[in-house]
Structure 1
């Protein structure tokens, strides 16, 4: 009985220690982990400033298909879709890393992940499901205290309090 009590005490202390990790740390890690694959993919879509690479053009026009209800459909407006995908894959990761508009950036990544899943159905378990889960967590919890969102929120809250004070 003494061993069980001792083990319970050790497990309880370890649990409290793990629970004391600030939420800002895993939220920062989620932002970075989600930003990296999208950023890297986005870099392959450009050949200079706002100039789509020939590879991106080819993939969206000739290779990529949306797999819906057992049918494969070509992308509507493939060059526009390539441009938007490339733009999203470069801008949204920057916002995630900075923690600027985190929930909106995560929503954008979430939408892109759904479209990527429809395009590459075989990637669900290894890529798309983890991306979806990370984006969903950031959508729900935001960027945390180590984010521009928090800094700006504190700055604007302080300004509002200062401007709301009555003048004597």
Structure 2
């Protein structure tokens, strides 16, 4: 049952993030995205991010294409850490450590996305588990 719990927690978090973007204004224009994402227009990135989060959350809830959506959301999370959550400046590990927090006080804010990455690893490596459509579909496919 642990993969189900991981899937549901992550699905909830990414659903919330996706719906906030869906209902909100595009604030990507002031960000510097890493290559190759820097080649895309801000509106395109906003659209892609919104729908990867929403569809990924639905897929994780159902346990459908779990490894694909886990990898997609992992990439999205790494880009978000790089672009938004990592401290803008740090010179010592002590200064970097200040960003390992859930805050908006300007030292970074990479605790939660780092925890998401850790939670994604069992799903990426082990799959969705027995309580998933992936399991049902794979089991049905093996019978035929």
Q: Map residues 152-167 of structure 1 onto 2, 5 A cutoff.
A: 152-158=137-143, 160=144
Q: Does 1:82 align with 2:82?
A: no
RMSD in angstroms over aligned alpha carbons?
Answer: 2.0
Q: Secondary structure, in 3 states, of the residue corresponding to 2:33?
A: strand
Paired with 1:134 and 1:38, the residues of 2 have a C-alpha distance of: 13
Paired with 2:17 and 2:45, the residues of 1 have a C-alpha distance of: 14
1:123 is matched with which residue?
A: 109
Paired with 2:28 and 2:128, the residues of 1 have a C-alpha distance of: 32
Q: Secondary structure, in 3 states, of the residue corresponding to 1:46?
A: helix
Q: Does 1:45 align with 2:21?
A: yes
TM-score (norm 2): 0.77
Structure with higher RCO (Cα < 8 A, 6+ apart): 2
- Return the offset for 1:35: 1.2
Report if aligned partners of 1:98, 1:147 keep a CA contact under 8 Å in 2.
yes
* Higher Rg of the two aligned structures: 1
Q: Map residues 62-73 of structure 1 onto 2, 5 A cutoff.
A: 63-66=30-33
Paired with 2:9 and 2:39, the residues of 1 have a C-alpha distance of: 28
Report if aligned partners of 1:60, 1:75 keep a CA contact under 8 Å in 2.
no
- Return the offset for 1:75: 7.5
Q: 1:137 to 1:123 in 2, by over 3 A?
A: farther
- Return the offset for 1:109: 0.8
Give aligned pairs, total. Answer: 121
Paired with 1:67 and 1:140, the residues of 2 have a C-alpha distance of: 26
1:113 is matched with which residue?
A: 77
- Which structure shows the bigger proportion of residues in strand conformation? 1
What residue ranges of structure 1 are gaps of 5+ in the alignment? 1-24, 48-52, 69-73, 161-168
2:67 is matched with which residue?
A: 103
2:94 is matched with which residue?
A: none
- Residue in structure 1 matching 2:28, options 60, 72, 89: 60
Report if aligned partners of 1:88, 1:108 keep a CA contact under 8 Å in 2.
yes
What residue ranges of structure 2 are gaps of 5+ in the alignment? 87-107
Q: Secondary structure, in 3 states, of the residue corresponding to 2:22?
A: coil
